[in-house]
Amino acid sequence: MAEQKEIFLTVDVEDGINILMRDAFGIAMEPTARVVGNVERLLALFEQRGALATFFILGEVAQFYPGLVKRIAAAGHEVGIHGFSHTLYSRMEAPAIREEIVRTRAILEDLTGREVTAHRAPAFSVGPANPWVLEVIAGAGIRVDSSIMPATAGRYGWPGFPREIIVMELPSGTTLTEVPLTVASLPGVTLPAGGGGYLRYFPLFWTEYCFRRALRNGYAMVYMHPYETDTEPYPSRYYEAAAARGTVARLKSRLVQAGKKSVIPKLAALLDHYRGVPLRQGVPSGPDVGSPRVPMASAFPGYAWQPPSPEAISFPMVSARP
Ligand SMILES: [Zn+2]
- Residue pLDDT, tens place only, 114-125: 999 999 999 999
CA of 245 to the centre of ligand 1 (A): 24
DSSP string across 218-263:
S--EEEE-GGGG--SPPPHHHHHHHHHT-HHHHHHHHHTTTTGGGH
Query: What is the gyration radius of the CA atoms in the chain, in angstroms?
Result: 19
CATH code for the domain in which residue 51 is found: 3.20.20.370
CA atoms of 222 and 154, how far apart (whole Å): 19
Residue 222 included in any domain: yes
Asked, for residue 322, whether it belongs to a domain, the answer is: no
Question: Is 106 domain-assigned?
Answer: yes
pLDDT at 316 over 50: no
Residue 202 CA from chain centroid, whole number: 19
Separation of CA 166 and ligand 1 centre (Å): 22
Mean pLDDT of the chain: 88
For 146, the domain range is 5-294
Above 60 in pLDDT, residue 279? Answer: yes
In a domain, 301, yes or no: no
Render pLDDT for 151-171 as a digit per residue (tens, 0 to 9): 887 778 998 999 999 999 999
Quick check: is 313 in a domain? no
Q: What is the DSSP letter of 195?
A: B
Residue 318: per-residue pLDDT: 41
- Ligand 1 centroid distance, CA of 290 (Å): 31
Q: How far apart are the CA of 56 and the centre of ligand 1, in A?
A: 8
- Structural domain total, the chain: 1
For ligand 1, the distance from its centroid to the CA atom of residue 322, given in whole angstroms, is 9
- What pLDDT, on the 0 to 100 scale, is given for residue 165? 92
What pLDDT is stored for residue 269 in this prediction?
A: 92
**Cβ atoms 275, 4 nearer than 8 A:** yes
pLDDT in tens, 228-243: 888 888 888 888 888 8
User: What are the E-state strand segments in the chain?
Assistant: 5-13, 54-57, 78-81, 118-119, 144-145, 166-169, 175-178, 183-186, 189-192, 221-224, 274-277, 293-295
Pick from 40-44, 269-273, 284-288: least confident: 284-288
Q: Report the separation in Å between the CA atom of 2 and the middle of ligand 1, taken as the mean of its atom positions.
A: 35
The answer, as to whether pTM is greater than 0.85, is yes
Whether 312 maps to a domain, the answer reads no
Per the domain annotation, does 302 fall within a domain? no
**Per-residue model confidence as pLDDT tens digits over 185-215:** 887 788 788 777 777 778 888 888 889 999 9
CA-to-CA distance for 181 and 279, rounded, in angstroms?
12
Is there a domain that residue 310 lies in? Answer: no
